[in-house]
Amino acid sequence: MVRIGVEVEPRDEAHFLATVGGRPWQYRRLDEGEYDVHIAVSGATLGSTGAALAEIHHVLARSGVSARVVFATRLRPRPTPFRRYRVLPRGWSPAREWLAAPIRGLMFWRSKGTLQATSLTEARSRLDDFVARNPQVGRADRLMVVGPPGPSGVTGASADRAEDPMDGLLLPSAIVLLVGAGAVFIGLWATLWRPEGSSTRHAVAFLISLPCLFGVWQMFRRIPEGRINTWLPLGLTALAAPLTIGLSNFSRDVYLQAFGISPGDVPLSGQGRLFAVADTLPLVMFSLLLSLGVFGLLRYFHFTVRGDLRLLQWSMALLAVLLYGLTSVTVLLERDTRRGLDHVTHYQAEGGPARGHTGLTPSVVCVETGTDPVHRIGPPLTTDRPVLYFDGANNVDLLWDREHGLTKVTRFSVSLTPVPDLNADCPEPGSADD
């Protein structure tokens, strides 16, 4: 809550009251032409005063009211003497408060209700009345009231000095420490003990997703505040399905370009499409989380309410859309290009069995040309060692040799014999293609 002092010209006072009355604000008249306006600002405390000032300046400028803002200050909540105590089934409870406090937090799912009181003694005295008004919770002798014990002889407003560690900074600090420890562990794992085949990008993505999850949560909390908070997540989520399908096709094309195979030369079967979609979907979901999380964090820290026309609000929405698409395309392009080049390099250096990618696994075959001439596109056919076979479109076989590259031939124009890997021996051909 931010309190803003406003001085209004007497001739515009009625117009000012009509303008302020049409907003979800509270106001109080101090003197003729002097008002205190209270504006509730959701999000971070840091920057809330500037956000409230930007909002009231925007509203007054649009309405044409002649008014001057003289001060703005953030109101801090008043301390309350009442504390919350849980009603739990009777059982064991640690005697030491430092151990009992976190256990109470973990036992919330067993709670039968809560009591508001100034001390634990007062809360326990209200248990009989709580049971009488809520008979479904059971008998009073089978329940217990737990919470921070108040200092002896202290009641009323001074009872708030005995703070529950879980109501203060202990719980946020514990969460921060746990997240920090997890980040350090992930960092050490990624740099020192990273298993073979895993990627540092996975650890980085995990660390990025932590603040983005908080941003998404804040964005959904603020959905009632404006249309942009509603249509942006709905629009980006609706794009996830077509974007996943489109990127799954793009993923295979990028990978196959490392072998010299053009887009569309290898058709996508039903099973292969399923594998491709399953491989692309996590990337699209991460991009969605990243874009919505960044937008939510910008909204939470009030970056989207600066300026009279709130141009930044729409700019941030556009940024989220661009981040959504560019992250998906850029990461996929880099990942699949590198994977294709790695496979080609491995085949050329070591040979070995065929490697798969998103449901696409070539076959290792030996080629026999026979006596009839073979119409081909590309270098001469390799018949003295195995090659990779890709089932091409339009009745074309794609044969890739690790030294000469890709050759296209008409289907069934050559004889193909499966072999285990590229290091296997091929039979001597009866004849070879020139």
Q: What's the pLDDT tens digit per position in 339-356?
A: 999 999 999 998 889 988
Residue 365, pLDDT above cutoff 90: yes
pLDDT of residue 187: 57
* Rounded mean pLDDT, 49-72: 86
Percentage of residues of the chain with pLDDT beyond 90: 10
Q: In sequence order, what are the residues at sequence separation of 6 or more whose Cβ sits closer than 8 angstroms to the Cβ of residue 302?
A: 41, 43, 44, 47, 48, 50, 51
pLDDT of residue 304: 64
- Rounded distance, CA 272 to CA 269, Å? 5
- Rounded distance, CA 388 to CA 402, Å? 8
Could you write out the DSSP letters of every residue in 282-347? HHHHHHHHHHHHHHHHHHHTTTTS-SSS-HHHHHHHHHHHHHHHHHHHHHHHHHHHHHHHHHHHHH
Nearest alpha carbon to residue 376 among 357, 356, 404, 354: 404
pLDDT of residue 191: 54
Contact 38, 26 (CB under 8 A): yes
Q: What's the pLDDT tens digit per position in 82-138?
A: 888 889 888 777 767 667 777 776 777 788 888 988 888 888 899 999 999 998 888
- Rounded distance, CA 395 to CA 410, Å? 6
Residue 163, pLDDT above cutoff 80: no
pLDDT of residue 183: 61
pLDDT of residue 111: 84
Report how far Cα 224 is from the mean position of its chain's Cα atoms: 21
Q: In sequence order, what are the residues at sequence separation of 6 or more whose Cβ sits closer than 8 angstroms to the Cβ of residue 365?
A: 386, 387, 388, 389, 399, 416, 417, 418, 419
* Rounded mean pLDDT, 30-50: 84
pLDDT of residue 309: 45
Rounded to the nearest integer, the mean pLDDT of the chain is 79
pLDDT of residue 13: 87
CA angle 410, 413, 415 (to 5 degrees): 125
pLDDT of residue 147: 83
Residue 388, pLDDT above cutoff 50: yes
pLDDT of residue 341: 92
* Range of lowest pLDDT (27-31, 168-172, 197-201): 168-172
186: confidence class by pLDDT, cuts 50, 70, 90? low
Strand ordering across the sheet containing 83-89 = 113-117, 83-89, 143-146
Contact 247, 328 (CB under 8 A): yes
pLDDT of residue 431: 44
158: confidence class by pLDDT, cuts 50, 70, 90? very low
Q: What's the pLDDT tens digit per position in 281-321?
A: 888 888 888 888 888 888 788 776 654 445 666 777 777 88
